[in-house]
């Protein structure tokens, strides 16, 4: 069974976390939530809770097949954690699928993996993406190598399909 990590911190966008997690679990993947602390309850923007299974400091990229990064304001909190940035960088170095949606691009920006990459995001962080060296486009889903990006919750069906396709490759 392929194991996937999904990053979590307070003020995550509820749908952007749970929709891909549920879809991947439906496909037979084991999806574990990783946060600053293991066993901590984090609360989404709309009040939906999520309990982390693992802490960033306790995971190694080589043990997992992919990474999900939901949006909301959680990525701004996660980008401040050296262990979270290292996980993103290590996953990218290993060519494993990294899926980011909406504001999630903040974490890959801080991990230094977007230079020269084609991505999308919510328009609010377009300048951040461009200033990190990315080519930003306004499309529902963009796949550039192992990097999968989408704009907002309305793009979740296409986003989830792209994640599943990348994990099945």
The residues carrying an active-site annotation are: 102-103
What sign for the dihedral angle of Cα 133, 5, 156, 50?
negative
SS3 at position 113: coil
Q: How many CB atoms lie within 10 A of CB 25?
A: 12
CA–CA separation, 4 vs 167, rounded Å?
A: 9
Q: How many CB atoms lie within 10 A of CB 53?
A: 18
34, β-bridge pairs: 7, 54
Is residue 167 a contact partner of residue 2, using CB atoms and an 8 Å limit?
A: yes
């Amino acid at each position: 069974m392929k194991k996937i990590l999904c990053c979590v911190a307070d003020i995550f966008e509820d749908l952007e976390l749970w929709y891909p997690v549920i879809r991947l679990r439906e496909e037979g993947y084991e999806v574990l939530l990783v946060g600053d602390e293991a066993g901590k309850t984090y609360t989404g923007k709309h009040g939906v809770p999520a309990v982390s299974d693992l802490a960033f400091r306790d995971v190694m990229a080589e043990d997992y097949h992919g990474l999900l990064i939901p949006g909301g304001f959680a990525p701004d909190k996660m980008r401040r954690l050296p262990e979270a940035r290292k996980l993103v960088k290590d996953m990218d170095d290993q060519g494993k699928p990294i899926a980011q949606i909406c504001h999630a691009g903040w974490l890959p920006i801080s991990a230094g993996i977007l230079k020269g990459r084609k991505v999308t995001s919510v328009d609010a962080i377009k300048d951040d993406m461009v200033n990190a060296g990315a080519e930003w486009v306004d499309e529902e889903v963009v796949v550039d190598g192992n990097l999968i990006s989408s704009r907002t919750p309305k793009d979740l069906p296409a986003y989830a399909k792209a994640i599943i396709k990348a994990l099945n490759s």
